[in-house]
Structure 1
Amino acid sequence: MQTVTLSLFRFDSIAARLWAFGMMGAGRFALRRVPGLQFWKLCGTGTGEGFTPHPNTHVYAILCAWPDAETARTRLETARIFRRYRARAVEDWTVFLTPTSVRGQWSGTIPFHAQSAPETGPLAAMTRASVRPSRALRFWARVPDISAVIGADPNVIFKIGIGEVPLLHQVTFSIWPDAQTMAAFARDRDGPHARAIRAVRDENWFQEELYARFRVTGERGTWGGASPLAPVKGHA
């Protein structure tokens, strides 16, 4: 069963942050050599709630897809590139995910393979978009409203915005306690999220898009000195 991992790394010193920035280019050569790695992306992150065009130079992310959970855990522990990231980071956290629903493509491929696993316990939602340059200003004009609503929603367990290319290739990632609370946020037809979705369709904002949902199956490390999954640990 395919396992997807999102690993976050926090860097404090200027030297470590410069190293992490350089790895956005150099790291791809090492990731190509990791056995069993089916799909990967090196990403930066946004400031504030994460869904902003302003980069957070302290935090970087690696998104991976693996053939199974055992391979994922083994490679994350032993592969040199992940050990190098952890050695320089002051904190790191990885969340383990099982895809349950996938629609769209990423870089021309379908990176995640949906399983028939029941959507029980905490769930994660991922939206990835390649924004048309001519629509970028309109897209980012909507983002602050969406970010504020997500940040204010008491049901959101964790949220972050990551991206491959600033302003143009963006990913939103959020974790919710269950399918009902996730669906309630998406169903608010008068909210900024629903208005943005309508604008995407009406004005053709994206060159490519992908929407995926996952069961949250585990974690490694901490974030902000604690486990982000602590509120739902008994249900994971």
Structure 2
Amino acid sequence: METVTLSLFRFPTLSARLWAFGQMALARWDLKRTPDLLQWKLCGSGTGEGFTPVPNTAVYAILATWPSEEIARERIAKSKVWARWRAHAAEDWTIFLAATSVRGKWAGVEPFHAVAEPTDGPLAALTRATVKPKVALKFWGSVPDISRMIGMDEHVAFKIGIGEVPLLHQVTFSIWPDTRTMAEFARHDGPHARAIKAVRDGQWFNEECYARFRILGECGSWDGTSPLKPLERSAA
């Protein structure tokens, strides 16, 4: 079953951060030669929880697609790229996912395939958009309010904003206890709903992709713990 992984790495020192920045170009060669790696994206992140246009030079991500969870775990544990990044990072975390729904395209292609049945339990959501340059300032002007709103939502277990190109390519990734709570956040009449309406009315995006995933597992830690722990409290 096709498996998607999101690997986050935290680089503590200036030298490690400079090394990670260089890997945005240099790691591409080894990624292209990594066995069984179907697709991959190298991403930076924004400050705070990532939902800002100001780069966070300490956190970088690798989003990847593999033929199966077994292969994904083996390659992430042993491949040159992931091993090298772990050696330079102070902390890393990888989540293993199976897509349940995919809509839209990423760089002109369908990035994931829906291979799992939707679940009533925990799920992850990913959105990716290419912002039109002429409306980038309007778009980022609405993001801080959305960031504060999602940060206040007691149901969201984890969230981060990453991207390939600052300002123009934005990826949001979030984990929720169930589809109901995620849908309630999306429908709530607040900054998020108003921003979505502005996007639709003004056609702010050149390209959009939306995907939901079943959570298969994780390895590593983030902020010294498992980002999935809040889901255990929600289920209790």
TM-score by length of 2: 0.96
CA distance in 2, matches of 1:158, 1:130: 23
Aligned to 1:211: 210
> Unaligned stretches of 5+ in structure 2?
none
Aligned to 2:191: 192
CA distance in 2, matches of 1:2, 1:116: 9
CA distance in 1, matches of 2:30, 2:44: 18
CA distance in 1, matches of 2:28, 2:169: 17
Matches within 5 A, 1:24-103: 24-103=24-103
Aligned to 1:227: 226
CA distance in 1, matches of 2:151, 2:96: 22
CA distance in 2, matches of 1:115, 1:154: 29
- Whether the 8 Å CA contact 1:43–1:61 is kept in 2: the answer is yes
Matches within 5 A, 1:62-211: 62-188=62-188, 190-211=189-210
RMSD (Å) for aligned C-alpha atoms? 1.1
Q: Give the partner amino acid of 1:201.
A: R
Q: What do the CA deviations read for 1:170-194 (whole angstroms, capped 9, x no partner)?
A: 1011100111111111111x21111
Q: What do the CA deviations read for 1:5-63 (whole angstroms, capped 9, x no partner)?
A: 00000011111110000001111111111111111100001111310001111110000
CA distance in 1, matches of 2:215, 2:55: 26
Report how far residue 75 of structure 1 moved.
0.5
Q: Give the partner amino acid of 1:212.
A: A
Secondary structure at the aligned position of 1:165 is classed as: coil
Secondary structure at the aligned position of 1:77 is classed as: helix
Q: Which runs of 4+ in 1 moved over 4 A?
A: none
- Whether the 8 Å CA contact 1:11–1:90 is kept in 2: the answer is yes
Report how far residue 232 of structure 1 moved.
2.3
> Unaligned stretches of 5+ in structure 1?
none
- Whether the 8 Å CA contact 1:120–1:215 is kept in 2: the answer is no
Q: Give the partner amino acid of 2:182.
A: M
User: Identity percentage over the alignment?
Assistant: 65
CA distance in 2, matches of 1:103, 1:192: 23
Q: What do the CA deviations read for 1:41-98 (whole angstroms, capped 9, x no partner)?
A: 0000111131000111111000001111011001101110100000010000001111
CA distance in 2, matches of 1:24, 1:153: 32
| Higher mean C-alpha displacement, 125-134 vs 109-118 | 109-118
Secondary structure at the aligned position of 2:164 is classed as: strand
Secondary structure at the aligned position of 1:100 is classed as: strand
Q: What do the CA deviations read for 1:103-160 (whole angstroms, capped 9, x no partner)?
A: 0000110010012423132111111001110010110011011111000100010000
Report how far residue 233 of structure 1 moved.
4.4
Secondary structure at the aligned position of 1:195 is classed as: helix
